Amino acid sequence: MKTPTDALTAATGTHWTSEEAWVGTRRPILEAHALPAAVYADPAFYAEEQERVFSTSWVCVGTHDELDAPGSAIVRSVAGRSVILTRNQNGDLRGYFNACRHRGTELLEDDCTLGLTIRCPYHRWTYDRDGALVATPQFADAGVDRFDTTNYGLHTVRVASWQCLLFVCLSDETSPIEHWFGDLDQRLAGYRLAGWRSHLTRDFEFAANWKLVSENFQEYYHLRWVHPELAKVSRVQDHYRYQGTGMYCGQTTTPLSNDERGDWDALPPAEGLSQPDMASGRFIALFPNVLLSILPNHVFVMRLDPVAPDLTREHCTWLLPPSNPQVADEDFAVTRNFWLDVNAEDIDIVQRGQKGLSTGSYTPGRLSPRFEEPLHRFHNMLADRFVGISRIPAGDETDDQPLYGTGINPLPWRSVEDQARKVN
Ligand code: FES
Ligand SMILES: [Fe+2]
């Protein structure tokens, strides 16, 4: 499918489709600048971003187990278009635009459990879960020429279940999802996340641009001052790049530390993890809209849903491994409350970021090569979507190379003794 963006780019081009608009981003990290305020606060940029980024990317719309129950369907808005995700009778994932093929009525208002079919509320045209038109009450009886129901099935959208998440892509021109996320599937293979299940969900809404939340997640520069508790289990000096080819910005904390509250080790780890996975936290911002924190015993997903330039919905889900599927709430409370505290601290600081960027006075500052290199990568991915470059960025050559003063990434695993000897 050609998206409206394709037509827009060809026809007009705007300030943001030119490389000059991104000159501070395109510089090497040692000289790069942060993004201008308009990128976070201007409604015109936001509208263009919906087209150039959200309608051309693999956008996360949920966790895979939201479609576990037979006949379940979820309704999501992607780049302002309503889409339906469901599974057919064989369990295969399916995605459709949420519009009837008769006169365009929205088919489903909200998440629901379907029977065998999707039925339009207006004149009851009915589709099976493969999108085929199977009933048109009283339509053909009165006579209609050359009407072939096979021409009026639901319009499909690309959907994918990847790791423990569901994705939609509105453009047919975008690479397949395996290519989009590059080597990340392989990096995460040892966790076998497709078998993990949601334990708890929470939604938040806050007054900041979605990119501020992603950027904040990607950098650990703010850790000491914004999150004194998090800094005990995820120490600044234990952060490293975890970055291969793919549309993501990754870091690892290795080794994870313990604190007196046991924030991250209150639950048993998943069975069968490798030693490096067992000792690490993986923090990965998938482009564009999902932030994954993968710990040995739980996964915390933050899915970002832009609502306006200065308004974002954040859908949070905690998942547990199949070896520990049922956890009493009192046993989960430490982990849950830890994340809720960290999230509240982050929401507070990104809302203040939005306020500062909206003063009209901000001119782009400099990025810290050591702490903010992932933001530089993220900004360049954003620039690529705007100027129409469909490249999947390369990653680091190896995981164990010194980068920007952070020392040698301790992967591949050496030994516990080496870790203890590591100079802090
Ligand atoms: S608009 Fe759906 S049946 Fe008429
Ligand atoms: Fe934070």
Q: Which of 84, 96, 103, 127 to mutate to test the pocket of ligand 1 (most atoms within 8 A of CB)?
A: 103
* Mean pLDDT score, 246-274: 85
Check if 17 has its Cβ closer than 6 Å to any atom of ligand 1: no
The residue among 250, 226, 225, 254 whose CA lies nearest residue 239 is: 254
Please tell me the number of the ligand nearest to residue 99's CA.
Answer: 1
Spatial separation of the C-alpha atoms in residues 182 and 245, rounded to whole Å: 5
pLDDT digits (tens, 9 = 90+) for 3-50: 444 444 445 689 999 999 999 999 999 999 999 999 999 999 999 999
Check if 100 has its Cβ closer than 6 Å to any atom of ligand 1: yes
Q: What is the CATH number of domain 4-56+182-414?
A: 3.90.380.10
Distance 215 CA to ligand 2 centre (A): 9
4-56+182-414 against 59-162: fold identical: no
Structure confidence at residue 308 (pLDDT): 98
Spatial separation of the C-alpha atoms in residues 51 and 315, rounded to whole Å: 22
Please tell me the number of the ligand nearest to residue 216's CA.
Answer: 2
Domain boundaries, the chain: 4-56+182-414, 59-162
Structure confidence at residue 111 (pLDDT): 97
Give the ligand 1 atom nearest the CA of 120.
2
Check if 106 has its Cβ closer than 6 Å to any atom of ligand 1: no
Give the ligand 1 atom nearest the CA of 136.
3
pLDDT digits (tens, 9 = 90+) for 261-278: 667 778 999 999 998 899
* Mean pLDDT score, 297-315: 98
Percentage with pLDDT > 70 across the chain: 90
- By alpha-carbon position, which residue is closest to atom 3 of ligand 1? 123
Give the ligand 1 atom nearest the CA of 101.
2
Query: What CATH architecture applies to the domain 59-162?
Result: 3-layer Sandwich (2.102)
Other Cβ atoms closer than 10 A to 85: 24
Structure confidence at residue 414 (pLDDT): 47
Residue whose structure tokens are 């998943």? 270
Give the ligand 1 atom nearest the CA of 100.
2
Please tell me the number of the ligand nearest to residue 123's CA.
Answer: 1
Q: Which of 96, 106, 122, 144 to mutate to test the pocket of ligand 1 (most atoms within 8 A of CB)?
A: 122
8 Å CB contact between 16 and 25: no
pLDDT band at 408 (very low <50, low <70, confident <90, very high): low
Structure confidence at residue 21 (pLDDT): 97
Indicate whether 415 pLDDT > 50.
no
Structure confidence at residue 69 (pLDDT): 94
Give the ligand 1 atom nearest the CA of 124.
3
Indicate whether 68 pLDDT > 60.
yes
Indicate whether 422 pLDDT > 50.
no
pLDDT digits (tens, 9 = 90+) for 127-142: 999 999 999 999 988 7
Please tell me the number of the ligand nearest to residue 353's CA.
Answer: 2
Indicate whether 310 pLDDT > 60.
yes
* CB-count burial class (<10 Å; 0-12, 13-18, 19+) for 38: middle
pLDDT digits (tens, 9 = 90+) for 181-192: 999 999 999 999
Amino acid letter for position 87: R
Structure confidence at residue 6 (pLDDT): 47
* Mean pLDDT score, 256-263: 71
Distance 84 CA to ligand 2 centre (A): 33
Give the ligand 1 atom nearest the CA of 105.
1
Check if 123 has its Cβ closer than 6 Å to any atom of ligand 1: yes
Distance 126 CA to ligand 1 centre (A): 9
- By alpha-carbon position, which residue is closest to atom 1 of ligand 1? 103
Spatial separation of the C-alpha atoms in residues 339 and 318, rounded to whole Å: 10
8 Å CB contact between 62 and 87: no
Check if 135 has its Cβ closer than 6 Å to any atom of ligand 1: no
pTM of the model: 0.92
8 Å CB contact between 289 and 324: no
Distance 196 CA to ligand 2 centre (A): 25
Amino acid letter for position 247: M
Indicate whether 237 pLDDT > 90.
no
- By alpha-carbon position, which residue is closest to atom 4 of ligand 1? 123
Check if 122 has its Cβ closer than 6 Å to any atom of ligand 1: yes
Distance 251 CA to ligand 2 centre (A): 13
Q: For the chain, what is the mean pLDDT?
A: 91
Tokens of 63: 């966790």
Please tell me the number of the ligand nearest to residue 223's CA.
Answer: 2
Please tell me the number of the ligand nearest to residue 222's CA.
Answer: 2
